[in-house]
Structure 1
Amino acid sequence: MGVIGLGMGRGHARGYHSHPQADLVAICDMDVGRLQEVQSELDVPRIYTDAEKMFCAEELDGVSIAVPNKYHAPLTIAALKHGLHVLCEKPMAMTVKEAERMNAAATKASRSLMINFSFRFTEAAYALKQQVDAGVVGDIYFGRSVWHRRRGIPRFGGWFGIKELSGGGALIDLGVHRLDLALWLMGYPEPVTVTGSTYDRIAQPLAKKERKQFDVEDLACGLVKFANGATLILEAS
């Protein structure tokens, strides 16, 4: 396995390193200091600052991609073209068109593409899904899924708050986890209408005060109505 991006990707690397059925052989990041630090910690054989060079030089089975959201699609598609299975950090992409291109590349390459919606794999989520599938909770006709991050804005002043790199704020960072869980538990009903609002009234004054770039929302809310009559309310901040 290989890992590209050693911010969130450091957790991926540690997971592969500790798993008895995985062999972490290469890591890639533009920060040489970070590369050397992780290489030393996990005893990784080889390091790269160029993903394409890693794809060409290594005989990888799969790769984790954990870079700023802007680069999810191009790196995923490149990895798939090299015949690799891909675990990509959420959100999948910046746009629907990018996501469709990623899916098409995976289909063409006959390789697996998985997005890291990790909350599906918690014990609580797994137990609830079993109860839903067994019919214990009955027909789910209304859902409210919320994530209020009380620790503040992650890496304030970094790429999370720059729309060109992230694609959005709280909704694309936190809300996607809650939306994924809700749709999974509800059985993926067909959406009919979606309405929503976004705000930046807390982060913008703080960004100006601290002279940091921040051009995404710090609060998002939405209402989804489905063809089966169900309704979902989503909040992320």
Structure 2
Amino acid sequence: MSNSDTTVRLGVVGLGFMGQTHATNAEEHGHEVVAGADIVPETREEFATAYDATTYEEFGVMYDAEDLDAIAVSTPNAFHESAVVGALERDYDVLCEKPLADDLESAERIAAAAADSDGFCMVNFHNRVSTATEVFKEYQREGHFGEITHVDANYVRRRGIPGVGSWFTNEELSGGGAVVDIGVHAIDFALYLMDYPAVEDVFAVTRTEFGDRDDYVDPGDWYDETDEAVFDVEDSATAMIRCEGDRTISLEVTWAANQAETQEFVARGTEAGAALELGGEDLTMFQSGKQGTDHTLDVTLTEGSIDHTGWSGSDKRFLDAVLDEQTPELNTVEQALAVQRVIDAIYRSARQGSSVPVEN
């Protein structure tokens, strides 16, 4: 640590919504936002005013000029590698927004840089930090579920195509559409519920059905109706993911669909099962017994909550790990690389129209 055993000096790369979220959370957790970097002058000015921070156009200049302990990277996906690797090469601890990168090769280079660095890289899968998940994982550690053999993973928006004409819908900047944006959370969460088994193969179909229709975009989001607006990514995907030991994940991801919205995950185990919402509070556990008579039993979580969930909780765990000088066990770069391999396999399978293997 540079100045204090209790305060992290944070630099932020990419000063849009998520960059400001990380900065706000850092201050709320008692840390100091020292500097930020962004290519847009107006965004730099806004950030400097909000956080009393020095701002830079180039993150490399910021890395070398400032006395920092950690970096939060929240640029468009195509620029994760340069920002994260540059920070790791200087032995900074790094929080990288999901996904790890815009493609598998870039993600592999980030993982290699992390392995060679005295700093660590944590990836912001913030939906793991929830009350329902904490309760589920504790029961799982006690053996309550036996072996989780299947997860039904759903992240379905009815009208939720983000920023048509922004980097989210431009494959060159994002690396993909709904799979990269929200599917990455569903893939990570499903694997996390199964304790991250090795993935062996994937069969997937991707679809582009609603990107040119303004009645299917996020009602609160910007829609660019000009001829220059780019939408060259998928807006939904269906996949079957087979893991070692014939464990499986059925994945449904949509930015837009003619069905009810859902973020429900169902984990089926050999001794019990559970239904929980991604990043939510609700948890129901399913089991059976013979006490009194043969029966099935649904147990619902009705009280209790953990502090600092979601983005706030994820940022706190990152900053605590920086203070402790310990690589966090949650949201590791190795797990993020495993997710990236599944994303890559989904796109390969969709192009080929067949199941494809996943290298581990």
* Runs of at least 4 residues off by over 3 Å: 204-211
Q: What displacement does 1:209 show?
A: 6.6
Q: 228, 232, 237: which one pairs with 1:220?
A: 237
SS in 2 for 1:25: strand
> Aligned partners of 1:104 and 1:170: how far apart in 2?
27
Q: Answer yes or no: is the 8 Å Cα contact 2:164–2:211 preserved in 1.
A: no
Question: Is contact 2:92-2:118 (8 Å) kept?
Answer: no
Local SS of the residue matching 2:241: strand
Paired with 1:132 and 1:204, the residues of 2 have a C-alpha distance of 44
Tell me the residue number matched to 1:36. 45
Query: Aligned ranges for residues 1-237 of structure 1 at < 5 Å?
Result: 1-7=10-16, 8-20=18-30, 22-44=31-53, 46-206=54-214, 211=227, 212-237=229-254
Q: Which runs of 5 or more residues in structure 1 are unaligned?
A: none
User: 5+ unaligned residues in a row in structure 2: which ranges?
Assistant: 1-9, 215-222, 255-360
> CA–CA distance in 1 between the matches of 2:59 and 2:160?
32
Cα displacement (A) at 1:208: 10
Q: TM-score, normalised by structure 1?
A: 0.94
Task: Say which one has the larger Rg.
Answer: 2
Offset from partner CA, 1:102-154 (integer Å, 9 cap, x none):
11111211211011000111222222211222222232111111111234211
Q: 1:208 and 1:11 mapped to 2: Cα distance?
A: 25
- Per-residue CA deviation, residues 39-93 of structure 1 (Å, 9 max, x unaligned), is 222222x111110110110111110000000001111111111221110000001
Greater helix share, 1 or 2? 1
Which SS does the other structure have where 2:32 is aligned? coil
Quote the RMSD (CA, aligned, Å). 1.7
Query: 163-172 or 101-110: which moved more?
Result: 101-110
TM-score (norm 2): 0.63
Name the CA distance, whole Å, in 2 between partners of 1:42 and 1:75. 21
Q: Is contact 2:170–2:230 with CA below 8 Å preserved after alignment?
A: yes
Give the secondary-structure state (helix, strand or coil) at the position aligned to 1:228.
helix
Inter-partner Cα distance in structure 1 for 2:29 and 2:41: 25
Q: Name the CA distance, whole Å, in 2 between partners of 1:110 and 1:32.
A: 32
Using the alignment, how far apart are the partners of 2:144 and 2:185 within structure 1? 24
Please list the CA deviations of residues 189-231 of structure 1 after superposition, one character each: whole Å capped at 9, or x if unmatched. Answer: 2222211011011114559976321000000111011221211
1:76 counterpart SS class: helix
Distance, in Å, in 1 between the alignment partners of 2:225 and 2:58 is 37
AA aligned opposite 1:106: A
**For 1:181, what is the secondary structure of its paired residue?**
helix
1:144/1:24 CA distance change after superposition, 3 Å: same
% identity of equivalent residues = 37
For 2:33, what is the secondary structure of its paired residue? Answer: coil
